[in-house]
Structure 1
């Protein structure tokens, strides 16, 4: 599959599907059960990029569930993410590369299967997120195109004829849910089509008493037909993931792919790294001086960097990995190399100048790309910190008691109270670490107009320490400028 840059078609020419009024498409539908694996060559870069863009959407779906967003809010956020990273235009949209869009969607799904098939927990979370994405796309699809998709598959449902519907009219009408007005509900019932399936295929409808059960069959009204489709999608994906898991050991010898899959599988723990992860450049336009760091830490730092700063002030020292993480964070925040040397020298005030210059100054300059191979190192993302138990993410590595103490100590002056800890700790227990951090941001920035569920102010979860700090500093600056403008008036 990864022999080079040559690309082969997904289907043979004989498999091209003629779509009425829209020409021939290799992928005739936006909706997809992903039955057939991608049988073409792709580059390693495309392999990773397609999966990462899809993972951004799935991670946001899971994050939304953990943040208790409503279904309408979830659809709005997901559709916005899809528009940015994985657009799928309708078949009638002839001015866009529909096959290209659907090819990316298809490839990304199968790459993530490889990443998330390796444990029961990852499979469960992947199935839930993918099914939610399918539901959102199903609801948004054009009615005619949705019907074409349904007609292209055998869902093994049996249409109920008029005689059978009449025979069980009383029972069917009793389970039919519609308008409260009885006459309106009966009119809708008379026009409704019904399908029979084994009751085990629609457990959600059985639970909600939306279907009539007879001899092991569930009589499903057409308006609830989607439940059959969604259940079929979920069951199909679960079986496919189990098959993939049994085949995965064959990939162990490919040193190019395993690191990528390991990185992708961390996506549900930390969210998907944002733009902050990809650059070693400073993101703050204002120059930050060494003497400003103490105040910035109290007002704007996430708990991971706040804890490192507090440890540095307490011990006048940090271990190598801590210096690396914290130093790169400050660098991207806007601390210049000259100010960084001043900051670390004052922090290590128990060392002699000679010892500091010999053992520490070189590493500081190295992190800024001024020594060694002169690489422009990026700050560590939440995902990277989650895999580092030494100076890693406190939400993952602190004990519950120590984490609660650290949070109250750091943020009680910013509005966090002990009453907020229950919600935060429940997300930590569910391993939604970035959601917990995002909730802390929302609480501590409520005075800036950040509401619950708003993330960092743009519906994004925290996925990078520099994202947290930069957004906090931005909100503070906007508020400060607004106050100054009012004084002038």
Structure 2
């Protein structure tokens, strides 16, 4: 028997194929011209950017999305959210208006475009991440759409070519009473306004609030409620795109440059990581010394208060508790010499010889005073962020490290909160709800706002601090600095005298 070979390629086409040319062809990259401030993110970006830009742009957008999510969980209204987010958007993700023009306009829009797609890659892996990403991106788009200049908004919508059916004048006259009743028109007649017919599933908000007339599965939407239609289209397209992205993710597994960054970003959706800088958290003039740590602890976040209380109770902390607390003290400005004095006096049940042999080196290593790692030498390790405390080295038996909002039972957490002065039952119930929703950093911020409610009201009323200075806290050292400054308003950190306006957020 003669073995017959079969080929899927048509012999007539074989000569025209050049596999090597196809496989190794240089990809065509090009810059995108951004005509509008708004973006549906339909076309993936193709121009080159550096790995540093890749990561930093994504981190900046993550800060914005996390703050939007925090506004949602705090039940802030639309106007309050817009006011709160304005300085934060200007800080992390600015977008100049087309009408007014800007020399950085294209660069800002490129960052917005790329950062969206980078986070889309990071958050497409699981259904929970996709759902949360879609929700906060929709919130961001709605915020920008409502803030857009009317002419630019209309030009953007016109180019979308959405599947909306205009309602004829005859049909508007036919259903005049129904349209008037649904829309709440008083002076203007429905037939004088523009209406669109869309599937009712595309405008669930309007249907739920009974703001539209429905007939034959179609919702009759007035032009004034166009935002709901556009936002619904944005959400629908994004959800479909995320599903496609999730199926393409396995192709990235072999890229050892991008995968670690994407994994880091997705993990940080619990709470965005905060880049630590001593210049951002240090307080000039404050008495940061070993003898003053007890007094300073009144401004510590709950995780550090727990460590401090455990240390004072047991005259000892296990390794990860010591490391977490040492780096925090370093971050608030306690120098190496004072830190060694603090730990030696705190470990009162052991001899000098035991302390020097078993503990002294670790403190010096954390500060970068000893150790062979050239990258650490001279600087040491950075204080742990909330993200690191939440996700790394959970406490074991007899350990006091970690985050009480995550690692304590609700009973033990309530007892600790009451011990440090949180008695309000509404606050405790709110913390319980935050814990159940795994919004641990929001529980911490809730307690911060309760403990400093009078001071926060004062700096808001007199304009000393704005929304950017009061954005969600995501670092224990940031918590301390903000608390210390609020508690010491009107006092000079050195002599106790001064004026309210002297207290400003630094960095």
Query: What interval of TM-score do these two structures reach, taking the shorter chain for normalisation?
Result: 0.7 to 0.9
Cα deviations by residue, 1:31-74 (Å, 9 ceiling, x for unpaired): 11101111122221111111111111111100111112121110
Q: How many Å separate the matches in 2 of 1:96 and 1:144?
A: 21
Identify which of 409, 413, 423 aligns with 1:403. Answer: 413
**Residues 457 and 132 (structure 1), Cα distance of their counterparts in 2 relative to 1, 3 Å cut:** closer
Larger Rg: 2
Residue 309 (structure 2) aligns with: 310
Offset of residue 339 of structure 1: 0.8
Structure 2 gap ranges (5+): 1-26, 396-400, 500-507
Offset of residue 104 of structure 1: 0.4
Residue 7 (structure 2) aligns with: none
Identify which of 486, 494, 497 aligns with 1:475. Answer: 486
Contact 1:213 1:219 in 2 (8 A): yes
Offset of residue 103 of structure 1: 0.6
Identify which of 359, 383, 387 aligns with 1:383. Answer: 387
Residue 323 (structure 2) aligns with: 324
Counterparts of residues 219-230 of structure 1 (less than 5 Å) = 219-230=220-231
**Residues 398 and 455 (structure 1), Cα distance of their counterparts in 2 relative to 1, 3 Å cut:** farther
Higher helix share: 1
SS of match in other structure, 1:411: coil
Structure 1 gap ranges (5+): 1-5, 12-25
Q: How many Å separate the matches in 1 of 2:498 and 2:466?
A: 27
Identify which of 454, 466, 476 aligns with 2:477. Answer: 466
Q: How many Å separate the matches in 2 of 1:250 and 1:278?
A: 36
Contact 1:287 1:334 in 2 (8 A): no
Contact 1:280 1:379 in 2 (8 A): no
Residue 62 (structure 1) aligns with: 69
Identify which of 171, 174, 177 aligns with 1:167. Answer: 174
Residue 442 (structure 1) aligns with: 449
With normalisation by structure 2, the TM-score equals 0.84
**Residues 196 and 282 (structure 1), Cα distance of their counterparts in 2 relative to 1, 3 Å cut:** closer
Cα deviations by residue, 1:307-349 (Å, 9 ceiling, x for unpaired): 1111112222212111111001001111111111111111222
SS of match in other structure, 2:221: strand
Offset of residue 450 of structure 1: 4.2
Residue 20 (structure 1) aligns with: none
SS of match in other structure, 1:220: strand
Contact 2:328 2:476 in 1 (8 A): yes
Offset of residue 452 of structure 1: 12
**Residues 95 and 229 (structure 1), Cα distance of their counterparts in 2 relative to 1, 3 Å cut:** closer
Cα deviations by residue, 1:63-121 (Å, 9 ceiling, x for unpaired): 11111212111011222211111111122333422221111000000111112112222
Residue 257 (structure 2) aligns with: 256
Q: How many Å separate the matches in 2 of 1:42 and 1:7?
A: 14
Q: How many Å separate the matches in 2 of 1:131 and 1:210?
A: 21
Root-mean-square deviation (Å): 2.4
Q: How many Å separate the matches in 1 of 2:189 and 2:467?
A: 45
Residue 35 (structure 2) aligns with: 28
Residue 15 (structure 1) aligns with: none
Q: How many Å separate the matches in 2 of 1:429 and 1:314?
A: 30
**Residues 479 and 485 (structure 1), Cα distance of their counterparts in 2 relative to 1, 3 Å cut:** closer
**Residues 216 and 355 (structure 1), Cα distance of their counterparts in 2 relative to 1, 3 Å cut:** same
SS of match in other structure, 2:420: helix
Q: How many Å separate the matches in 2 of 1:82 and 1:156?
A: 31
Offset of residue 253 of structure 1: 2.5
Farther off after superposition, 159-168 or 53-62: 159-168
1:130 aligns with 2:137: yes
Offset of residue 350 of structure 1: 2.1
**Residues 156 and 220 (structure 1), Cα distance of their counterparts in 2 relative to 1, 3 Å cut:** same
Q: How many Å separate the matches in 1 of 2:435 and 2:233?
A: 32
**Residues 213 and 95 (structure 1), Cα distance of their counterparts in 2 relative to 1, 3 Å cut:** closer
Farther off after superposition, 281-290 or 239-248: 281-290
Aligned pair count? 455
Residue 368 (structure 2) aligns with: 369
With normalisation by structure 1, the TM-score equals 0.87
**Residues 351 and 254 (structure 1), Cα distance of their counterparts in 2 relative to 1, 3 Å cut:** farther
Q: How many Å separate the matches in 1 of 2:267 and 2:189?
A: 48
Contact 2:414 2:428 in 1 (8 A): yes
Q: How many Å separate the matches in 2 of 1:295 and 1:35?
A: 55
Residue 239 (structure 1) aligns with: 240
Contact 1:34 1:106 in 2 (8 A): yes
